[in-house]
Chain A
Amino acid sequence: MSTWIIFLLSISYLGVLFLLAAWAEKQTGPNKSLINNPFIYALSLAIYCSAWTFYGSVGQVSTNGISFLTVYFGPTIVMILAWGFVRKMIRISKIHHITNIADFISTRFGKDNRLGQIITLISVIAGIPYIGLQLKAISQSFDLITQNIPGDQFYQDPSFLLFIAITLFILTLGPRKFNSSEKHQGMIFAIGIESIIKILAFLAVGIYITYSIHSGWDEIVQKAHIAVPSIHVQGGYGNWFIQLVICGVSFLFLPRVFHVAVVEINEEENLKQASWIFPLYMVLINLFVIPLGFAGYAYLHPSGLNPDLYVLGLPLYFSSKTLAAIVYIGGFSAATGMVIMETIAISSMISNNLFMPLLLQRKAFVEQNQEKLGSIIHNLRRLFIVAIMVMAYAHYRINEDFVNLVSIGMTSFLIVAQFAPATIIGLYWKNATRTGALAGILIGFSICCALLLLPGLGFSVDAFRIAGFNPITNAGYWSLSLNTFAFLSVSILTKQSAKEANQAYLFVDVFTYTQSVENTTLWRGKAKLKDLKNALAGFMGKIKAEANLKQFAALHQISLQETYADPRIVNNTEKMLAGFVGSTSARLIISAISKEENIGVSEVVELLQKSRDLQQSNYDLRKLDIQKNEFLTTVTHEIRSPITSIRSLSEIMVDHEDISPEERKKFLDTIIQEADRLSRLVNQVLDLEKLDAGKEKFRIEPVMLEAIIEKATQNFVAIAQQNQVSLTVDLSQKRTQRKVLGDFEKLVQVVINIVSNAIKNVEPGNGKIVIRLKENATHICIEIEDNGIGIDPKFHDQIFEKFKQVDNPNRKIESSGLGLSITKKIIEHLHGSIQVQSALGQGALFLIKLPIE
C-alpha cells in the first residue's frame, strides 16, 4: 500500500484519538459515568498488552511454542487471586497521594529519596528499550505494509514522522499544568478505546485466517503440522513456572500498569469488575494466537519474514488490503498506548523522584521561585518526555537487528520484577526495612545485569546456568530468589528508623488507619498563608489557587485573614501539591515554606498511636483512681463499724456504774474483739497495698504443702471443736514427695483464710470441711471443700475482689472482705491459680493450683 495512505491513516488515527481524549477530558456530570466505569478501567489495564502481545506472541508461538501464555497467565492470576493486594495498593496510594511506583515504594520505606531515585533509574533502564521496542514494531509494520525500504538515516525513515506525531500527542495530553492530580481522564478514555481497537483488529485477522481462509483450527494445524516446531513446553515446567512468576509479579510494577491500575482508578469498586473483565480480555486476545502462529509458519516461513510480523504478513499474503490496514492500526494502537502511558509514568518518576527532590533541597531557589515552580516543573516534565522518546528511538535504531520483541520485553519484565519482593512483602510485614529493600532491589538488579549482559561481552555465566532454563528464566531464578533472600535477611538484621516504622504501620494497616488519617490534621510548624497561596498558584494559576483556598476555607469555616495559615489549610495545600509533584516533593515544598518542622501523615499516625496509648493509660489510670476511691470509701466504712461498737460499749460502761459483772465482761470481750478486727483490717489493707504495689517480700523456697496444711489446721482445732465442725485432711491422693515453690508463711495464711471462711459458712453441729491434696505432672492442687451455704455462681468472679462479700448471715464475725482478695494475689504471685466451684446450698469447693518446683 502507498506510504502516504498508511501515513495519513496513522495520523488521522492519532487525530481521532486526540479528539476523543479531549472530549472525554471535559466530561463531568452525567456523562462522567462513560469514563468512570469498570469497563474503561479494565480496558485501560489492557495497556499491558503492547505491540509485543499484538505481534510478538504470534512470532513466539511459531518459534518457542506456547510459553507465550505465561505472559498472560501471570497478570490474569494476579487480577483474579491477588485482588486484595491490588486494592491495598490502591487505598494506600490514594491516602498518600502516590503518583508512581517509585513514590509508592519509597513512601513505604520511610519516604526515602534514595530508594525512590534508584527505583526511578531502574525503571528508566527497563523502560526505554521497551518503548524502543514499540517504536520498532510501529516502524517494521509500517515498512511491511507499505513495502517501504527505509534509508540508512533516520530522516529517510517515514515512520520517524510518526514518532514525532506521537511525541506531540503525549506532550499535549500528558503533563498538565493546572490540575492538581496525576489523573488523565481523557487519556485513560483514549487508552480504553485503543484496547478495544487492538482486540477487534486481532480478532478480525484471527477469524479471517481461521474461518475464512481455512475451515478452522484443524485445517491450519494439518497444514503446518510437519513444519511447525512442535508445540511444547520449552525447557520444562520449571522454566514455565519462573516465567509465570516473572510476568505475574512484574505486572503491577510496570510503570504504565501501576499508573492506570493504581493512580488513575476513580473508585475502588471498579477493581472488582475489572477482576473478571481483564482476564476475559486476556483470553480473547489470545484466542487466535496459536492458529495465526501456525498459519504464519506454514505460509510465511519460506519467505524468511520475521515471525513477529506474521500477523500483518498473513492478510497481505492473502491480498486482503483492508484487513491488513486494520491489523496495522491495531498494532499501531497497541504500540502507541504503551508508549503514551509508559512515557507519562516514567517522566513523572524522573521529575517527582529524581529531579524535584534535588531542586527542592535548595530552599533559596524554592523561595525565590514559588510562583514559577509549577511552570518549571511542567516544562521539565515535557523535556523528560522528549528525552525519553529520543532515547527510546535511539535505542531502537542502534539495536535494530539485535533482538526480537520478546526477549527485550521479558528482560524489561524481569528487571521490574525486582521491585516485587520488597513491595509485596512490605505490604504485609511491618519489620521490612529500607536497607533491606535497597539490598534486595540492588542485588536482584545486579544479578539480572550480570547474567544477561556478561555473555554478550564474551564472559561465560555457564556456571550459574540451570539445566533446562533459558537465559531469562535462569536470570529470573537467581535474581528473584537472591533478591528476596537479601531483602528478608537484611531486614531482619537492620533496624527501622522511627519514620520507617510509622510508614510500615501506615501501609500494612492501611484499612485500619484510613479513617483516622483522613480525619486528622496536625501541624506543628507555622506557614504564612501568603506563601502557601503562592506555592499553589505556581501550579494551578493564581485565580484557581485563590478560589480553591476560599472554597476550602468556607467549607471548614476558616478565616483567611490571619497571617499564619490554619493547619487544615496547610494540610490541604500539601495534598493539592502532592497531586502535581508527588507526596515526597510536596512535603519538601511545604517544609521549605514553613519555618518550623512540619508533621506529616506518618508523624500524625505516630502521634495518633501515642495519643491512643495515652488515652488508654489515662483510661486505665482513671479506672484505677475510681477503684482506689471505692476502696478508700469501703475501708473507712469498714473501720467505722468496729469504732462505733468500741465507742458505744465503752460509753455504756462509763455511764452505767451499775452494770453487772457478766455484762461488763461481755462488753469488754467485744471491745477486744472489735479492736482485733480493726487491727486485722488495717494489716490486711497494708498487705493488699504491698501486694498491689509488688512490694510484699516473698521468701520463695521449695515447700511441702503437707506441712503447710498441718500448720494451718492447728489454728482451727479449738474452734472446730467448739462449733462441732469436722475438719479432716486427706493426703491419700498425693503419693510423691514433690514440693512447690512458695513462701511458707504466706501459703499457711492462704489456707487459714479459706478454712476460716468455710468454718463461718457451715452450719454448727453439722459442718464438714475436707482439705485434700492432689497432683498431676505439673501441678499440686489444694482442695478445700465444705458443706456450707455455698456461693451463688453469679458471685464467683466477685468474691476475690476487695470487699465483695456475698450476703451471709454470719458475715462480719471475723471477715474483713479482704481475705480472698489477698489470697488470690498471693497465689497469682506464685504463678498458681485459685478457683471456686459452688452453688447456693451445695457447699463450696476452693481449688488452689500451684506449679511443681
Chain B
Amino acid sequence: MRILIADDEPAILMSLDYLMRKDGHQVYVARDGEEAVQLIEKELPEIIILDIMMPKIDGYGVCQQAKALSPTYKPKIVFISAKIADSDIERGYQAGADLYVPKPFSNRDLLKKVNELNLQSKN
C-alpha cells in the first residue's frame, strides 16, 4: 500500500517513515502542505497521513485538495495533530478525515488503525 506522510516535524516524519516502511508500505514524505499536494497529485497514495499545522498549506487544505482531485480517487485521510480539543477533532472529521489521531500517539495503535482503514478501503 502506498502512504503519504506530511509533517513539518522532521523527527516525526523520520519515525513514521521507518514505521510504515517496516510494515511493508510504500512511503512518500512531505515537509509542508505544498509538497504534500504535489506528491499526492503525482503518486495518488491510498492513505494520506497529515499533520494539521503545516507551513504553506495546512492539513485541512491538503485534505480538501486531495479529495477534489478526481471522482475516482478516494484516499483515506488520517490527521495526526497536537490539536486535541474535542472541537479540533470534530473539525477534523468534518473536514473529511477518516481518522483523527492525537499527538503523541502510540505506534502500534496508529499502525493498527491504519491497517483497519486499509481493510475498509479494500472491502
Contacts and interface: CB of A to CB of B under 8 A. Distances in A.
Interface of A: 636-637, 640-645, 647-649, 651-652, 655-656, 663, 666-667, 670, 673-674, 807-809, 811-813
Contact of A648 (B8, B19, B84): B19
Contact of B82 (A641, A649, A813): A641
Given A641-B82, A809-B31, A651 B107 contact: yes
Contact of B107 (A641, A643, A648, A813): A648
B16 interface: yes
B64 interface: no
B119 interface: no
A809 B32 contact: yes
A812 B8 contact: yes
A811 B9 CA distance: 9
Contacts of A649: 11, 14-15
B61 interface: no
B8 A811 contact: yes
B112 interface: no
A685 to B, nearest CB: 16
B82 A670 contact: no
A835 B10 CA distance: 31
Contact of A642 (B11, B16, B18, B84): B11
Contacts of B42: none
A812 B9 contact: yes
Contacts of A655: 107-108
A641 B56 CA distance: 19
B18 A663 contact: yes
B79 to A, nearest CB: 13
Nearest to B103: A644
26 contacts: A637-B53, A637-B82, A637-B83, A640-B82, A640-B104, A641-B12, A645-B15, A648-B15, A648-B16, A648-B19, A648-B104, A649-B15, A651-B106, A652-B15, A655-B108, A656-B18, A656-B22, A667-B14, A667-B15, A667-B18, A673-B11, A807-B55, A809-B32, A811-B55, A812-B8, A813-B10
Contacts of A636: 82
Contacts of B53: 637
A645 B53 CA distance: 16
Contacts of B14: 645, 649, 666-667, 670
B55 A641 contact: no
A649 B106 CA distance: 10
Minimum-distance CB pairs A-B, first 6: A645-B11, A640-B82, A644-B104, A648-B15, A644-B103, A651-B107
Interface centre among A643, A644, A652, A656 (most CB of B within 10 A): A644
Contacts of A637: 53, 82-83
Nearest to A674: B11
A673 B9 CA distance: 12
Interface in B16-34: 16, 18-19, 22, 31-32
A644 B105 contact: yes
Contact of B56 (A644, A666, A673, A807): A807
A425 B82 CA distance: 65
A457 B55 CA distance: 98
B52 to A, nearest CB: 10
Contact of B103 (A641, A666, A674): A641
Given A645-B9, A648-B104, 17 more contacts: A636-B82, A637-B83, A640-B103, A641-B12, A641-B82, A644-B82, A645-B11, A645-B15, A647-B105, A648-B19, A648-B107, A652-B18, A652-B19, A667-B14, A807-B55, A808-B55, A812-B9
A648 B5 CA distance: 15
A656 B23 CA distance: 11
Contacts of A808: 55
A662 B10 CA distance: 17
Contacts of A648: 12, 15-16, 19, 104-105, 107
B19 A644 contact: no
A659 to B, nearest CB: 8
A470 to B, nearest CB: 87
Contacts of B105: 644, 647-648
Given A645-B15, A808-B55, A652 B104 contact: no
Contacts of A641: 9, 12, 82, 103
Interface in B48-96: 53, 55-56, 82-84
Given A640-B103, A651-B108, A656-B22, A645 B83 contact: no
Nearest to B19: A652
Contacts of A642: 11
A640 B12 CA distance: 11
Contacts of A663: 18
A655 B23 CA distance: 12
Nearest to A666: B14
A636 B103 CA distance: 11
Given A652-B18, A809-B55, A811-B55, A645 B12 contact: yes
Nearest to B12: A645
Nearest to A654: B107
A663 B82 CA distance: 26
Contacts of A644: 9, 12, 82, 103-105
Contacts of A670: 11, 14
B81 to A, nearest CB: 9
A596 to B, nearest CB: 50
A343 to B, nearest CB: 78
A653 to B, nearest CB: 10
Nearest to A813: B10
A402 B10 CA distance: 108
Contacts of B31: 809
B28 to A, nearest CB: 18
A809 B53 CA distance: 13
Contacts of B22: 656
A644 B10 CA distance: 12
Nearest to B82: A640
Contacts of B16: 648
Contacts of A640: 82, 84, 103-104
A61 B75 CA distance: 108
Contacts of A812: 8-9
Contacts of B108: 651, 655
A667 B15 CA distance: 8
A481 B105 CA distance: 85
A23 to B, nearest CB: 76
Contacts of B56: 807
B69 to A, nearest CB: 24
Contacts of A645: 9, 11-12, 14-15
B8 to A, nearest CB: 6
A443 B82 CA distance: 78
Contacts of B9: 641, 644-645, 812
A418 B104 CA distance: 82
A656 B15 CA distance: 12
Contacts of B15: 645, 648-649, 652, 667
B31 to A, nearest CB: 7
A645 B10 CA distance: 9
A652 B107 contact: yes
Contacts of A666: 14
A811 B32 CA distance: 11
A405 B10 CA distance: 102
Nearest to A808: B55
A465 to B, nearest CB: 89
Contacts of B8: 811-812
A673 to B, nearest CB: 7
Contacts of B55: 807-809, 811
Nearest to B11: A645
A638 to B, nearest CB: 8
Contacts of B18: 652, 656, 663, 667
Interface centre among B15, B56, B105, B108 (most CB of A within 10 A): B15
A807 B10 CA distance: 15
B66 to A, nearest CB: 21
A637 B19 CA distance: 23
Contacts of A674: 11
B43 to A, nearest CB: 21
